[in-house]
Amino acid sequence: MDRRNIKNTFPRTPGIRVAAALIWPIIGYLIDLVFVLFPYGTVLGSIGGLSLYFLLANRSNEIPMDPPKGWPIIETSVEEIKKAVRIYSEQLPKGVYRTILVKEDNSIDVEQIAPILKGIPSRNFYMSKETYDIFDEDEKYLALTIDKVQKAVDLYVREHNEYPMLSYDPLKRVNYYQLLKAHCLDTQPEIELYITNYDGLVTHKKPKQNSTGN
C-alpha cells in the first residue's frame, strides 16, 4: 500500500547554487581549451557554463527543504496544518510520501512546512503514518492507536484473507477479539475504530448510518 513511510534525502538548495556557480567558469574554460576557437570558444564556454548553472539552480523546489531559522511562533489549527501538509506533499517527487514529515513519536516536523505556514506552530501536531490523519496535541493518542491497529489489521488480512470484523456489524468496527486471538495485537485499545472502504484503512470517525441502518 502507498501509505508506508519511504524516506528520501533531498538536495539542499544553497549547496546546488554554490556548486553551479563554481562549475560555470570551469565548464567554460574547458570548452575553450577543447575548441580553441577564440573568440568562439569563449562564447561556447559561456553558453555551456551558463546553461549548466540554470539547470542546477532551477532544480530547487518551490518550497525550501531547509527553511531558514528565526521563523516566528504562530497559533495555527489542525485544518491549517492539514492544508500545509497537503501543499508540501504536492511538491514531493513521485514515490516519496508525506510520512517523511513524521518523527519517531508521530509528531510532525513543522520546520519543514514553516515556509508554507510562515511560522512555527506554538504546539505540536501528530500524524498517523498509516492513514495520514492529523491530530492536535490533545489527541496524540489517536495517531499512535490508529497506527498500531492499522498494522494489526493489515497483518490479520494477510494471514486470514478477511477483515477482522463481524459480518453483520453495519458500522464495520474493528473486532479486537479477533486481532488478539490471532496474536496480531497485544493489548486492546480503549477506543473503537472502524474499517473504511478505502483499502481497509481504519478510522476513529464513526460511520453515518442511513434510515435503514445500513
pTM for the model stands at: 0.65
φ, ψ of residue 125 in degrees (nearest 5): -130, 150
| Half-sphere exposure at residue 182, Cβ-oriented, CA atoms within 13 angstroms | 20
Main-chain dihedrals φ then ψ at residue 195, nearest 5 degrees: -95, 125
CA distance 192 to 178: 14
Cell output for 198: 478505502
What pLDDT is recorded for position 82?
97
Which pLDDT score, from 0 to 100, does residue 83 have? 97
Q: How far apart are CA 75 and CA 42, in angstroms?
A: 55
- The terminus-to-terminus CA distance of the chain in angstroms comes to 28
How far apart are the C-alpha atoms of 205 and 58, rounded to whole Å?
A: 43
Place of cell 491549517: 80
Reduce the DSSP state of residue 210 to 3 states and report it.
Answer: coil
pLDDT of residue 6: 35
Q: What is the pLDDT of residue 210?
A: 54
Pairwise CA distance, residues 17 & 5, whole Å: 29
Q: Quote the pLDDT of residue 57.
A: 46
Q: Could you give the maximum distance between any two Cα atoms of the chain, in Å?
A: 86
Q: Contact, 159 vs 165, CB < 8 A?
A: no
CA angle 200, 82, 134 (to 5 degrees): 50
Per-residue pLDDT of the chain (214 residues; tens, 9 = 90+): 444 443 333 344 444 444 444 554 555 555 555 555 445 545 545 555 445 444 444 544 444 445 456 899 999 999 999 999 999 999 999 999 999 999 999 999 999 999 999 999 999 999 999 999 999 999 999 999 999 999 999 999 999 999 999 999 999 999 999 999 999 999 999 999 999 988 899 999 998 865 444 4
Question: How many other β-carbons are positioned within 10 Å of the β-carbon of residue 56?
Answer: 19
